[in-house]
Structures are given as C-alpha cells and as structure tokens.
Amino acid sequence: MRKVLQKYGRRGFKMTPQRIAILEYLEGSDNHPSAEDIFRDVKKRYPTVSFATVYNTIEALKKRKEIVEITIDPERKHYEPNINPHHHIVCIICKKIGDVFADYSTALRLPAEVEQEFIATGNHVHFFGICKNCRS
C-alpha cells in the first residue's frame, strides 16, 4: 500500500480506501484485467465499492497515461498497467492475453501508397493463438 500511496499521492490523485485497492490490484498486474475483473476483486475487500468508482478510477488513470486501454477483445475492454510499448497475444479459446516484448518496427513496412499518405509514429501487433493451458 505504501508504494501505491507514494506513487499516486504525490501526483495529486485523490486517495480513498477503494481507490487504493484498485491501484494495488493494477500495480504490477500482468493479467490485463477488464473493469469487471477489477470490480469483482476489489468488492471482496470493500463490499460497498461501486462499479462507478472502478470505472471512474480507470478513466482518471487513462487520462494521466498511467494505464492503457486494450481493445483487442471485441467483447470487453482490458487495461494494461505496463505503459511501455509492447504487443499482445490472445488465446482464441480462453481469451487469455499475454505480452510480447519484441520490436517489430523494422520488420514491418507499410505499403508505399500508405507511406505517401501517412507518417507512422508507432505500431501495435495483435497475435492470436492457443495458450499452453488450452492445448493440454
């Protein structure tokens, strides 16, 4: 809790017990939770927390560029606390999302007609496959 308080408190982030629980859940998370996942977990410790509190905290974090919204799953948005550039792979069976820390910027070339129209400033590659658990 101390780490979360230091990190966000100094940035003028309003700290309530529910918000601290949300921030602790996200801190160091690599499971790409949805708002529903966060709500379900925090509600176990704070039964009075509302979904609006979770959603508003996510929105505040997005505005401050503390998390990234991932729209790789058409059924729901997921959130990524690791804001360093990277890509994702999704299991087509269980929808588990994994991180891919490889630089594909030099491997990918846009078609010439696109490069005439745009200057690329970044990329995000989505891979799809079957995770280890679903293969067994």
CATH number, domain containing residue 91 = 3.30.1490.190
Mark whether 59 and 99 lie in a shared domain: no
Q: How confident is the model at residue 58 (pLDDT cuts 50, 70, 90)?
A: very high
Total number of domains in the chain? 2
Q: What is the pLDDT of residue 107?
A: 65
Mark whether 63 and 93 lie in a shared domain: no
Return the CATH number at 15. Answer: 1.10.10.10
Which residue matches tokens 């799809």? 128
Would you state the structure tokens that stand for residue 134, as one six-digit string?
A: 């679903």
Q: Does 2 score more than 90 pLDDT?
A: no
Mark whether 62 and 22 lie in a shared domain: yes
> Looking at 80, 95, 117, which one is the last position of a domain?
80
Q: Convert the pLDDT of each residue in 89-136 to its tens digit.
A: 999 999 999 999 987 766 677 888 998 999 888 778 889 999 999 998
Mark whether 58 and 107 lie in a shared domain: no
Q: Does residue 21 contact residue 46 with C-beta atoms inside 8 Å?
A: yes
Q: Does residue 62 contact residue 77 with C-beta atoms inside 8 Å?
A: no
Mark whether 119 and 59 lie in a shared domain: no
